[in-house]
């Protein structure tokens, strides 16, 4: 059997076809199985809140202990003409890393990279 950490990388295209509930369920199901999930396009603030709320309801003593989340923000200078004029911008981050709190540790977040450490499930 292979030892290590499974990393599930989900494209923005795949996530765009899913409802918020489907995204949250997919993420939590994968993380509960010990996977680290990387989203090409992060969740909206509302989806992030719902993910955290759902996670809190599923935490059990001696079982699922929660999630670790880190986001890589959208580029502020990446705005087009209409965005500048009408003031609308995307609230979703460009990248999101989610994993089991007991296996994933975010070491640092810089303007152009995230550094994480992941350990295999015990």
Residue 2 lies in a domain: no
**Pairing label, strands 95-100, 67-72:** antiparallel
Residue 35 domain boundaries: 7-74+84-118
What is the reported pLDDT for 83?
Answer: 47
Residue 27 lies in a domain: yes
Q: What are phi and psi of 45, to 5 degrees?
A: -55, -40
Residues of the chain scoring pLDDT < 50: 77-79, 81-83
What is the reported pLDDT for 93?
Answer: 65
Residues 52, 11, 17, CA angle at the centre, nearest 5°? Answer: 80
CATH of the domain at 97: 3.30.110
- Tell me how far apart the alpha carbons of residues 24 and 120 are, in angstroms, rounded to a whole number: 23
Residue 1 lies in a domain: no
Q: What is the 3-state secondary structure (H, E, C) of 25-87?
A: HHHHHHHHCCCEEEECCCCCHHHHHHHHHHHHHHCCCCCCCCEEEEEECCCCCCCCHHHHHHC
Task: Decide: 100 and 68 in contact? Cβ < 8 Å.
Answer: yes
Residue 107 lies in a domain: yes
What is the reported pLDDT for 91?
Answer: 57
Domains held by the chain: number:
1
What is the reported pLDDT for 1?
Answer: 57
């Amino acid at each position: 059997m292979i030892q290590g950490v499974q990393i599930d990388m989900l494209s923005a295209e795949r996530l765009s076809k899913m409802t918020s509930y489907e995204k949250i369920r997919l993420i939590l199901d994968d993380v509960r199985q010990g996977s680290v999930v990387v989203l090409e396009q992060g969740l909206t603030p509302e989806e992030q809140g719902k993910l955290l709320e759902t996670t809190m309801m599923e935490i059990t003593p001696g079982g699922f202990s929660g999630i670790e989340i880190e986001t890589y923000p959208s580029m502020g200078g990446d705005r087009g003409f209409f965005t500048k004029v009408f003031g609308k911008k995307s609230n979703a981050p460009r990248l999101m890393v989610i994993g089991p709190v007991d296996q994933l540790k975010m070491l640092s977040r810089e303007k152009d990279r995230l550094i994480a450490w992941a350990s295999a499930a015990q």
